[in-house]
């Protein structure tokens, strides 16, 4: 024993004994990444004959309906807790008409997965307009180019019902419109879907980490940005907590923080403040940075993936949306 250690009166036990082997570390680990707590995002594109790689997201593709079925089946077989669908329609217009079209790509893909896997996994659908609008913004615009909040809520309500009818178990409004959760909850209840849950993107930041996603979903804004309706990255976590509290009061079942790694403090604050499941989205930029660094030999890819997911879990996330969900779940089994 090192001279002078431990100090007089200090406990003799050394925590390092419990770090001597991987089985010991696993046995006493207070934080665990669970396959069942992971959600696999899938992009489904209308009008393509085969999956299309997303250049800025190595390993991620825009799926056909058939390849989405296969990817979802692989995720479920690996033990992933759920999948979330993002649609890329063939035709976009100013109001995002394809978003609630019964024959729209997400509704068709949801019906496919509900038939294949409906009882074996959680089917989630992104509920926003940016993937469907010609201007790339998350809502209906006024003549002056501003977001019309109330008109957008009406669209969100219609989309929620369309997704529920197609087989969604959870709808995930990501547009950050005021009152969106209340409008969606009322619409779902009125349409006979009180059991469909809402995963609210309660603290979604105007982040630079979304760039690759906008390639995958083909939804970059055609003018301006989304800073007027997404959270300011410089804001204190109190702003996020106010947004979370509003969503909880309006009927949210799960609350989301997005992105994840740059906002671990917000995840921690939200997890301490609510008694609902907390989700975090490990977004496209986080994914692509690791993939690019690993491809250059700068990082140990597998260790980095697990370290980032562990950090998000340690911060308090119960559910993690990650593009590595299926791969990690396979590794955990």
Return the active site residues. 204, 258
3-state secondary structure at position 45: strand
CA atoms within a 13 Å half-sphere pointing along the CA-CB vector of 63: 22
Q: Where are the alpha helices (DSSP H) in the chain?
A: 22-28, 65-78, 105-117, 149-166, 180-190, 211-217, 237-250, 264-273, 284-295, 301-315, 325-332
* Cross-strand pairs, 52: 62
C-alpha to C-alpha distance for 313 and 156, rounded to whole angstroms: 30
C-alpha to C-alpha distance for 176 and 154, rounded to whole angstroms: 14
C-alpha to C-alpha distance for 76 and 72, rounded to whole angstroms: 6
Strands 38-45 and 319-321: parallel
Buried b / exposed e along 308-327 (16+ C-beta atoms within 10 A): bbebbbebbbebbbbbbbbb
C-alpha to C-alpha distance for 309 and 38, rounded to whole angstroms: 10
**Is residue 22 exposed (0-12), middle (13-18) or buried (19+ Cβ within 10 Å)?**
exposed
Phi and psi, residue 53, nearest 5°: -60, 145
**Is residue 299 exposed (0-12), middle (13-18) or buried (19+ Cβ within 10 Å)?**
middle
First to last CA, the chain: 40
C-alpha to C-alpha distance for 164 and 196, rounded to whole angstroms: 7
Phi and psi, residue 42, nearest 5°: -135, 130
């Amino acid at each position: 024993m090192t001279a002078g250690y431990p100090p007089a009166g200090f406990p003799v036990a050394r925590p390092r004994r419990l770090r001597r082997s991987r089985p010991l570390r696993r046995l006493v680990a207070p934080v665990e990444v669970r396959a069942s707590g992971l959600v696999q995002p899938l992009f489904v594109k209308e009008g393509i004959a085969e999956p299309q790689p997303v250049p800025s997201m190595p390993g991620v593709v825009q799926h056909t309906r058939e390849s989405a079925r296969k990817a979802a089946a692989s995720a479920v077989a690996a033990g992933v807790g759920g999948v979330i669908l993002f649609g890329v329609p063939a035709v976009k217009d100013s109001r995002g008409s394809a978003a609630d079209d019964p024959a729209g790509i997400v509704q068709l893909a949801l019906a496919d997965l509900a038939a294949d896997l409906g009882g074996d996994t959680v089917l989630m659908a992104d509920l926003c307009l940016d993937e469907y609008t010609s201007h790339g913004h998350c809502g209906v615009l006024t003549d002056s180019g501003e977001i019309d909040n109330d008109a957008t809520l009406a669209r969100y309500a219609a989309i929620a019902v369309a997704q529920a009818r197609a087989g969604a178990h959870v709808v995930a409004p990501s547009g950050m419109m005021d009152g969106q959760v209340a409008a969606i909850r009322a619409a779902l209840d009125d349409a006979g879907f009180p059991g469909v849950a809402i995963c609210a993107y309660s603290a979604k930041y105007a982040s630079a980490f979304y760039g690759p996603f906008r390639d995958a979903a083909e939804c970059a804004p055609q003018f301006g940005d989304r800073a007027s309706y997404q959270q300011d990255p410089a804001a204190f976590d109190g702003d996020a907590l106010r947004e979370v509290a509003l969503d909880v009061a309006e009927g949210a079942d799960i609350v989301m923080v997005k992105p994840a790694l740059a906002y671990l403090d917000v995840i921690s604050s939200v997890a301490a403040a609510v008694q609902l499941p907390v989700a975090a989205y490990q977004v496209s930029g986080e994914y692509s940075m690791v993939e690019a660094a690993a491809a250059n030999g700068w990082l140990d890819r597998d260790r980095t993936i697990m370290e980032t997911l562990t950090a998000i879990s340690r911060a308090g996330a119960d559910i993690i949306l990650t593009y590595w969900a299926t791969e990690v779940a396979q590794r955990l089994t």
